[in-house]
A = this chain, B = another copy of it.
Amino acid sequence: MISKKMQEAVANSSAIRAMFLEGKEMAAKVGVENVYDFSLGNPMTPVPAAYNQAIIDAVENENSLELHGYMDNAGYPETRKTVADNLNKRFGTEFEGKHIVMTVGAAGALNVVFKTILDPGDEVLALAPYFGEYRGYVANHQGILKEVTPDIETFQPDFHDFEQKITEKTRAVIINNPVNPTGVIYSEETIQKMAAILEKKEKEYGREIFMVSDEPYRELVYDGNQVPFLTKYYDNTFVTYSFSKSLSIPGERIGYIAVCPQMADCEQVCSGLSVANRMLGFVNAPSLMQKALVKAIDSTTDVAYYDRNRKLIYDKLTALGFECVKPQGAFYLFIKSPDAEEKKFVEEAKKYHILMVGGTTFACPGFVRLAYCVSYEMIERSLPAFEKLAKAYGLAGEK
């Protein structure tokens, strides 16, 4: 009954659901407190009170028809200006409201960008390991996703492979920064190198190649790290953002696209994004959430909460002999599987009631992702289980 592509997508999706159900069954058997579910990347820290207050204020004081009404497909002018001003203040950029398109989250933003720039058969490079949903987003608009292999020591991209993969069909590179699933931040040096390669290739092929930066984790950074703001390094850049993580409101579907003011044909591109927002059926970002942002844009969730988790799990797991790059941002740990087949490792971990996701999902087999956006207490409780898991693989861990 359903289309061929969707049959495949449903089958993949069933695997995730199967793990979810398995977790529930485990909990029923051994008690929910004895199941250590690190599989889901859901925000865990409280929604800032200022954001909830901004919602209530808007509903109580604004004209309802305007508050819940249609606006320009790109968003309310005051929201777009608020976002532009906020970025300029923090990153020294020069956005105006017209460079900002409010979207239905970052997932909406990426689809709007791809709809606007891709012709059928255009290629989009993704730097492995990457968020698996990108495959669907590119395919939705008849683009072809090509993978760039990582340097699996640092998880910065392999620049040689990056350059090799660019062809006359390459239209964009999608960059997730900080990276889900590794927690790595692509450094300023990395961005500069990539920008230089892209500029060279743009000239060689006589065609624009866009950087599309997906930054839902931009605010979740630790140890004083900074995420380079990409429009400062490369003109043909779209920055896509979601407030899902910074405000802990993933269900509300509110984000934006910031278009580099120096992009060629910037005005036409912005019109394209706005029209694509409508054509794809998003129409506009939810209006009440746009209005709340005007008052609460400076709010952020409690990043220290995730940092405390990060330190605990990273320190303990590496001490047990697990190998992984130290995360600088986001809320994930990407561990090298001690078994050549990561799938077997994922299964072995389940024996100790630890749930995690295989790296194959992120186009990086041989690794597993742990999401530490969980309670600190759950991590503490899980440590004896990890110890047993380490012993099962004969890792040289602490006593």
Contact = CB atoms under 8 A, between A and B. Distances in A.
13 contacts: A1-B263, A1-B268, A3-B116, A3-B118, A3-B119, A6-B115, A6-B272, A10-B272, A55-B288, A69-B250, A104-B104, A107-B281, A108-B282
A377 interface: no
Interface of A is mostly: helix
A56 B65 contact: no
Contacts of A397: none
Interface of A: 1-7, 9-10, 13-14, 42-44, 46-47, 52, 55-56, 59-60, 64-65, 67-71, 104-105, 107-112, 115-119, 122, 133, 136-137, 140, 142, 208, 247-253, 263-265, 268-269, 271-272, 274-276, 278-290
Given A109-B281, A137-B279, 4 more contacts: A6-B272, A69-B251, A107-B282, A253-B253
Nearest to A137: B281
Contacts of A252: 68, 286-288
A41 to B, nearest CB: 9
A136 to B, nearest CB: 4
Contact of A119 (B4, B104, B110, B286): B4
Given A60-B56, A268-B10, A248 B117 contact: no
B70 A281 contact: no
B283 A105 contact: yes
Given A3-B118, A10-B275, A64-B248, A111 B268 contact: no
Nearest to A68: B249
Q: How many monomers of this chain does the complex have? A: 2
Contacts of A268: 1-2, 10
A117 B281 CA distance: 16
A255 to B, nearest CB: 10
A280 B111 contact: yes
A268 to B, nearest CB: 6
Given A9-B279, A118-B3, A46 B60 contact: no
Given A248-B65, A286-B253, A116 B2 contact: yes
A190 to B, nearest CB: 25
Nearest to A64: B47
